[in-house]
Structure 1
């Protein structure tokens, strides 16, 4: 089947319209200078829907019949960079300083914007290794994201050998099962870890249906995509969902110095209620 040739440029007005829509729906702030990125990502949807220009696509998503396209639009506009044990200093600090404090039977973690699940499963493996009596305690990890495509991968819990490059050989053998051919270079997380993780779709801008409270919240490398008012609102909501003494981890490029908050600074990118 011959695909339509897409030659039209994304005009400034169209970029503004997309930016305003994405901001209203999920809080992502598409700054000036992101026009080429937005165009490249939208091209995927134009090809999928066989539109030849951006104006037709924008009319479609604003129509009654285009409501289901909104989720796909958000999906292509979100950045999903992640890896196992990313920013390992955080996992070291969790192991050495936080886990020894978590002595109650019920312990709750939340990885907000979990992408394709690597962060949540990294946490699960660490807890299986380092949390005392973890098999006999009520320990759960909530992993949420806005991207349906990423959540599907997290649900499947299958990763390539390249995606597992930061997983030690010991952890690979202990917590993964090699998928049978033809996917011979792929590995699935074992049920001992998968059972600890609940994967769910959540737009951080919407109401949060879970009750909490959480002992630890990871929201790393997400707030850089939000403007200051959205960051402020999000940080205050995290505060209300943490237990007294609970911890918030943000990305190392996301310090809270420019935001008014109640958290106590612990170390770079680590805060405590």
Structure 2
């Protein structure tokens, strides 16, 4: 998920960000991503975008801003979004979410299938960052026996940051990034890179469960028709203002099946934002169905 970086102090040679330019850039970030940058993020924005100025050989934000608005530089518009968003994630982050899936939800799905129910599972890792969340989910489904040939399991993993998605699609990580993966799972689902002993890569069987795609959560309608059994949208809401949080939640519920589960970050809540969700604990929510909701915000 896009995560504003900590503020840094200006250094020698830094192009200063004026009040006017900061306001223009802040509006651009909000318009393109939905992320609300407060005044405390000004130095962060200045530092991040100074890197873009240097990369382009520019000496002022007055030279840079037209590239973001003239429609002639789509590659720079994406580089801008990548520059002002960073990605914090880990394998098995908020482990209790995956424990719930493995210990309770998977058993219920197995029992449902034995009674003649559907063996189709669709999950969405929204704001997937560099992919660790999606690969963790794929491991959990595989370990629970829900990803075998008798099952139709697929994971959509999306993010707005194309640099992060490139890492995710490759599925290769420094070994220290995989430290949270239990050793038996690391052996079963990852290969040690032959060209680099300090890196691992997800096995093909794991990667084949996941489709990575660039999706901007702020742009509706989203480019798919799927209805999901599981949606992970963790540590995204905290970067939006209250109306945008409500709008995003309404849209997530529009693509979540009745009886599906929504997983949020540890500091996030749906309280006072949407109806139709039952809190199962530890930021896990069960969706009752569309009868509890109003019309989805456009």
TM-score by length of 1: 0.94
| RMSD value, Cα | 1.5
Contact 1:107 1:140 (C-alpha < 8 Å) held by counterparts: yes
Distance 1:142 1:64, change over 3 A: closer
Cross-structure match for 1:212: 226
Question: 1:211 Cα shift?
Answer: 1.4
Question: 1:231 Cα shift?
Answer: 0.7
Say whether residues 1:196 and 2:209 are aligned partners: yes
Which secondary structure does the structure 1 equivalent of 2:253 belong to? helix
TM-score by length of 2: 0.86
Give the number of equivalent residue pairs: 268
Distance 2:225 2:74 in 1: 29
Q: What are the equivalent positions in structure 2 for 1:45-124 lying under 5 Å apart?
A: 45-102=52-109, 103=113, 104-124=118-138
* Structure 1 moving runs of 4+ over 4 Å: none
Contact 1:7 1:53 (C-alpha < 8 Å) held by counterparts: no
Distance 1:216 1:95 in 2: 13
Distance 1:165 1:53 in 2: 42
Distance 2:81 2:203 in 1: 31
Unaligned runs of 5+ in 2: 1-11, 288-298
Distance 1:148 1:133, change over 3 A: closer
Deviations 1:90-114 (A, max 9, x none): 1111111211222321111100000
Question: 1:66 Cα shift?
Answer: 3.0
Contact 1:239 1:263 (C-alpha < 8 Å) held by counterparts: no
- Specify which of 133, 141, 155 is matched with residue 169 of structure 2: 155
Cross-structure match for 2:49: 42
Distance 1:17 1:41 in 2: 15
Distance 1:7 1:116 in 2: 29
Contact 2:120 2:152 (C-alpha < 8 Å) held by counterparts: yes
Which secondary structure does the structure 1 equivalent of 2:254 belong to? helix
Distance 1:174 1:123 in 2: 15
